Amino acid sequence: MPLSPEQQAEIDELRSAPTQTLRATAPGMEQHLYTAHPVLDHGFVRVIDYMGDDNAITQAARVSYGKGTKSVQNDEGLIRYLMRHWHSTPFEMCEIKLHVKLPVFVARQWIRHRTANVNEYSARYSILDREFYIPAPDDLAAQSTINNQGRGEALTGEEAERVLRYLRDDATRCYDHYEEMISDDGQQGLARELARMNLPANVYTQWYWKVDLHNLLHFLRLRADAHAQYEIRVYADAICNITADWVPFAYKAFEDYRMGGATLSSTALNCVRRMLKGEDVTQENSGMSKGEWREFKGVIG
C-alpha cells in the first residue's frame, strides 16, 4: 500500500485539527496538504509544508528592482517578465517540502538534482518494506537503437511475460534472503547496514525533499519532459499538478517559456531568418551537424 496505517493515522490527525495562521497561504496548495497522490504501483507524493505564493515572487522582485518594475501593471505580467528573462532569485522566495515514496533506482536519478535538502529513510536503522516496483506490461520496452539511454519498441507476448517473471521472482528472492540475513531467530542476524546491499534497485524507499521554486522548476523542466524516463516522469507530472495549484501565475509562465518554448543557437536563428527571406535552407548549407539539424527541424516543425 502507498501509505502505512501509521502514516495515514498521522495525516488524519493533522487534518482534523487545522490551525489559524497569519502567514501567506495559497488556497490551491492548502487542498494538497497531507494528501498522498499515488504514483506507480506503491509510490506517492504528498506536500508536507510550503512557503510563499505568487505574491511572494512579485514582492521580492519589486524590493530588488524598485522603480524598474513600475512599468509592469500586474503581478502576472511581472512574473512572466521574470521567467522570460531568466531571473531566478524572486522564484527562490518560495519553497516546498514533499514526502515522496519511490523506487531506489528512481531516487538515484532524482538525487542528481543537488539543489535540494533531502532526508531519506535509512535502511541502516530500519527495515525496508517488501514492496517493489513492477512495470505495467505496457511500460516494458526494448533498448532504443538511436538513444543509448532510452526505450524502443514495446515488448509483447512471451518476451514480456518472461521479463515480468524475472523481475518479480528476483525481487522476491532477494527480499527473502534479506529477511533471513537480518533475522535473529536462533542466532545473531547480519547488521542491517550490510544486509541492505542485497536488495534490488526496484525496492521502495522514502524521503523528505525540500526545494525552492526556482530549482523545482528546473527539476520539472527536465523530468516532466517527454524524453525523461517514464518512472521519474510520472512523479514530475504529479508535482506539476501540485505546483500549478500553488503558484498558478508562475506555473503558467513556466509552461509557456520553459516547457513549451525552445532555445535556438545563433546558427539556428540565422537559418530561421534565411527561411523567412525565402531561401532554401538544407542541412548541407545550414552550418549544422546532422544531429543539430534533426533537432532544429523538430523544433520548427
Full pLDDT tens readout for the chain, 301 residues: 578 888 888 888 887 877 788 888 999 999 999 899 999 999 999 999 999 999 999 999 988 666 555 555 688 999 999 999 999 999 999 999 999 999 999 999 999 999 999 999 999 989 999 999 999 988 888 776 666 666 777 888 888 899 999 999 999 999 999 999 998 765 778 999 999 999 999 999 999 999 999 999 999 999 999 989 999 999 999 999 999 999 999 999 999 999 999 999 999 999 999 999 999 999 999 999 999 999 999 999 8
Domain identity same for 97 and 188: no
Domain identity same for 15 and 56: yes
Domain identity same for 273 and 245: no
- Take residue 46 and report the three cell numbers written for it: 504528498
Residue 221 annotated among the catalytic residues of the structure:
no
Domain identity same for 294 and 147: no
DSSP state of 114: -
The reported pTM is: 0.89
- Residue 213 near residue 92 (C-beta atoms within 8 A): yes
Domain identity same for 112 and 129: yes
Number of domains in the chain: 3
Closest among 67, 55, 121, 130 to 93, alpha carbons compared: 55
Domain identity same for 193 and 218: no
Domain identity same for 140 and 95: no
d(CA 120, CA 216): 18
Domain identity same for 288 and 146: no
- Domain range enclosing 149: 136-201
Q: Which of 46, 80, 223, 233 is catalytic?
A: 223
Domain identity same for 188 and 241: no
Domain identity same for 158 and 278: no
Q: Which strands form 117-120's sheet, in the order they lie side by side?
A: 37-39, 43-51, 95-103, 204-212, 117-120
Domain identity same for 87 and 127: yes
Helices (H) and strands (E) in the chain, counts: 13, 7
- Cβ-proximal residues to 191 (8 Å cutoff; 6+ apart), any chain: none
Domain identity same for 206 and 243: yes
